[in-house]
């Protein structure tokens, strides 16, 4: 084999290793060093294609060490190069890598676009193992969106892994599908998957890795088998094993699960120690969302110890931090994606997946991404634009008193009422409804008078409060508060989206403060005329 042939073989081996992502203790640093060596060899070979392959696999491994933004940036650079030079297999691999990075950044809709292209863009002669990896990533990305196609996608990925007789790829599918089923409340399906996962690990002889232990423990805890969950967790808590976690979190999530298991078992001292360790790892790695889960569990630990004041203050701080982080994430995500993707790339998406990326999977309404794209365009148009922020009152009671399944059904039914409140004509002439997150929705109405908008929103409030909720929620009423804002006319420049939504949010706050289940309209702010002469 020639020097270039050896380089190709080494690159292919490292690409496959990175895709399967079952690392042993100390393996990731060693493979990162290997990637640096391969990049140097590729550079000295003078082959631009091999340099791009080496850059991509190094970034892919670097993501596991916390470099997710750099991974996305390098992935986009290599994607553009591969597209320009017509290298289909490398192009498909860039979509595979970008799908993983964007999922971690938080833009799951855009991640789905890349996951679809990672599969559809593979050449016919692509290695079967690569197809299996790309199918598996598509299934994982669909799962994050709770898409109905998830089960079929996992079945296809599992079938490919079984055909390859590749135990590690089979274990990956069982692990990821088990966690997906667990999160969706399908405990029986999750139980079957973790049993299969444990059996594959036994036959393989390598045991479960950190991520797999976390999955198994979560499912066992959900099944009420706290002692079994504790045994699974305990075997993965030595520092070296935690540092080898494939998620790049230093084992913080497994430590969080360990704390949860100990809390259920009444072992409050060990639970506190695991939580402190998880907090330290989150802070060291900037794992903001996982850190929020640590704070939420800390409040529960305070409550378990009878420290009611600390529990109350902790829960309040957690809720406030959650809202702040959602806002920060929106801004960071927008800035990151602006640096990664040009407009032409987004517009080439097929209609089916473009529509999917703009929809909230639970309610079928448009999502915040659609709002961010469409509303600024409407504000620059000739028609009057009005918005109403809608927040379901005391929605947490539904989830806490009944169940999250009931809460989801309440959200779906409320979404249908919002959908019915939009005049026919579409987003540009009638408007649209969107779910902004949690129990908050947005109604956008176009081409109506301010008085008509207030009447329509008030009718929606009455319809929502008077809907037949009792068979679903029993004695718990379902109402909503509304904050309406009319885009200010007559300005030298159109009102921007953030200002308009901020005014609607202020009106919503007034409605809540006044007793809920009512409509409040933002007072128009006077705009001083320009000085003449």
Nearest to 379 by CA among 440, 434, 427: 427
Which residue segments constitute the domains of the chain, with CATH numbers given? 358-521 (3.30.70.270)
pLDDT of residue 135: 94
Q: What is the DSSP string of 379-429?
A: HTSSS-EEEEEEEETTHHHIIIII-HHHHHHHHHHHHHHHHHTSPTT-TTT
Percent of the chain with pLDDT over 90: 54
204-213, 221-230, 424-433, 515-524: the lowest-pLDDT one: 424-433
Instruction: Determine the Cα–Cα distance for residues 118 and 133; give it in Å rounded to an integer.
Output: 10
Q: Which residues are catalytic?
A: 439
Average pLDDT of the residues in 117-132: 92
The total number of residues shown for the chain amounts to 533
Instruction: Determine the Cα–Cα distance for residues 100 and 95; give it in Å rounded to an integer.
Output: 9
pLDDT of residue 178: 95
Q: How many CB atoms lie within 10 A of CB 383?
A: 14
Instruction: Determine the Cα–Cα distance for residues 195 and 416; give it in Å rounded to an integer.
Output: 40
* pLDDT band, residue 33 (cuts 50/70/90): very high
* pLDDT band, residue 527 (cuts 50/70/90): very low
Answer with the residue of higher pLDDT: 469 or 1. Answer: 469
CA Rg, the chain, in Å? 25
Joined together, the tokens standing for residue 31 give 């493979």
Answer with the residue of higher pLDDT: 36 or 347. Answer: 36
Q: How many CB atoms lie within 10 A of CB 513?
A: 10
Average pLDDT of the residues in 224-236: 92
Q: Is the pLDDT of residue 64 over 70?
A: yes
Element (H, E) at 213: helix 210-222
What Å distances lie between residue 202 and 195, 229, 416, CA to CA?
Answer: 11, 17, 49
Q: Is the pLDDT of residue 158 over 80?
A: yes
* pLDDT band, residue 476 (cuts 50/70/90): very high
CB 139 within 8 A of CB 161: no
From first CA to last CA, the distance across the chain in angstroms is: 82
Tell me the per-residue pLDDT of 314-341, one tens digit each, with 9 for 90 and over: 778 767 766 776 665 566 556 555 555 5
Instruction: Determine the Cα–Cα distance for residues 198 and 195; give it in Å rounded to an integer.
Output: 5
Instruction: Determine the Cα–Cα distance for residues 66 and 287; give it in Å rounded to an integer.
Output: 9
Average pLDDT of the residues in 395-423: 92
Rounded to two decimals, what is the model's pTM? 0.58
Task: Kindly give the pairing relationship between strand 480-486 and strand 431-437.
Answer: unpaired
CA-angle at 152, arms to 148 and 156, nearest 5°: 150
Query: Which DSSP state fits 248?
Result: S
pLDDT of residue 354: 53
Which of 53-62, 315-324, 378-387: highest mean pLDDT? 53-62
Average pLDDT of the residues in 49-60: 95
**What 3 state SS string does 119-173 have?**
HHCCCCCCCHHHHHHHHHHHHHHHHHCCCCCHHHHHHHHHHHHHHHCCHHHHHHH
Nearest to 256 by CA among 223, 286, 296, 227: 296
Nearest to 248 by CA among 376, 93, 394, 69: 69
């Amino acid at each position: 084999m020639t020097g270039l042939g050896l380089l190709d073989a080494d690159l292919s081996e490292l690409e496959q290793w990175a895709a399967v992502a079952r690392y042993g203790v100390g393996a990731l640093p060693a493979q990162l060093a290997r990637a640096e060596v391969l990049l140097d060899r590729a550079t000295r070979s003078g082959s631009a294609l091999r340099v791009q392959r080496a850059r991509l696999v190094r970034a892919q491994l670097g993501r596991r060490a916390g470099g997710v933004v750099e991974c996305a940036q390098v992935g986009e650079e290599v994607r553009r190069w591969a597209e320009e030079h017509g290298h289909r297999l490398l192009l498909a691999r860039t979509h595979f890598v970008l799908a993983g990075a964007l999922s971690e950044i938080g833009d799951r809709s855009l991640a789905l676009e890349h996951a679809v292209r990672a599969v559809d863009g593979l050449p016919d002669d692509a290695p079967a193992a690569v197809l299996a990896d790309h199918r598996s990533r598509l299934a994982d990305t669909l799962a994050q969106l709770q898409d109905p196609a998830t089960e079929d996608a996992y079945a296809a990925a599992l079938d490919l892994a079984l055909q390859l007789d590749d135990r590690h790829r089979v274990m990956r599918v069982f692990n990821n599908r088990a966690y997906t089923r667990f999160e969706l409340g399908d405990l029986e399906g999750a139980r079957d998957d973790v049993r299969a996962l444990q059996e594959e690990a036994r036959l393989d002889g390598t045991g479960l890795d950190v991520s797999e232990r976390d999955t198994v423990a979560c499912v066992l805890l959900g099944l009420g088998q706290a002692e079994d969950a504790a045994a699974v967790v305990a075997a993965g808590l030595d520092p070296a094993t935690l540092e080898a976690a494939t998620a790049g979190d230093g084992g913080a999530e497994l430590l969080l699960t360990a704390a949860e298991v100990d809390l259920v078992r009444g072992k409050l001292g060990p639970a506190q120690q695991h939580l402190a360790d998880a907090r330290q790892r989150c802070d060291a790695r900037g794992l903001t969302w996982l850190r929020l889960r640590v704070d939420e569990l800390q409040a529960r630990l305070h409550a378990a110890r009878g420290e009611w004041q600390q529990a109350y203050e902790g829960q309040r701080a957690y809720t406030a931090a959650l809202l702040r982080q959602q806002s920060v994430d929106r801004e960071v995500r927008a800035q990151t994606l602006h640096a990664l993707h040009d407009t032409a790339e987004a517009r080439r998406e097929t209609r089916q997946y473009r529509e999917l990326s703009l929809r909230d999977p639970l309610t079928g309404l448009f999502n915040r991404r659609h709002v961010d794209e469409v509303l600024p365009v409407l504000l620059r148009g000739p028609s009057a634009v009005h918005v109403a922020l809608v927040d379901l009152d005391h929605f947490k009671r539904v989830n806490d008193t009944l169940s999250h399944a009931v809460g989801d059904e309440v959200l779906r039914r409320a979404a249908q009422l919002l959908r019915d409140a939009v005049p026919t004509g579409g987003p540009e002439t009638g408007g649209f409804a969107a779910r902004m997150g949690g129990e908050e929705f947005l109604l956008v109405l176009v081409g109506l008078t301010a008085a008509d908008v207030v009447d329509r929103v008030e009718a929606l409030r009455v319809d929502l409060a008077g809907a037949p909720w009792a068979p679903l929620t029993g004695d718990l009423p379902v109402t909503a508060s509304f904050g309406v804002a009319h885009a200010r006319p007559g300005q030298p420049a159109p009102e921007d989206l953030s200002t308009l939504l901020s005014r609607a949010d202020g009106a919503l706050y007034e409605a809540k403060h006044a007793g809920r289940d009512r409509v409040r309209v933002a007072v128009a702010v006077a705009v001083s005329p320009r000085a003449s002469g």
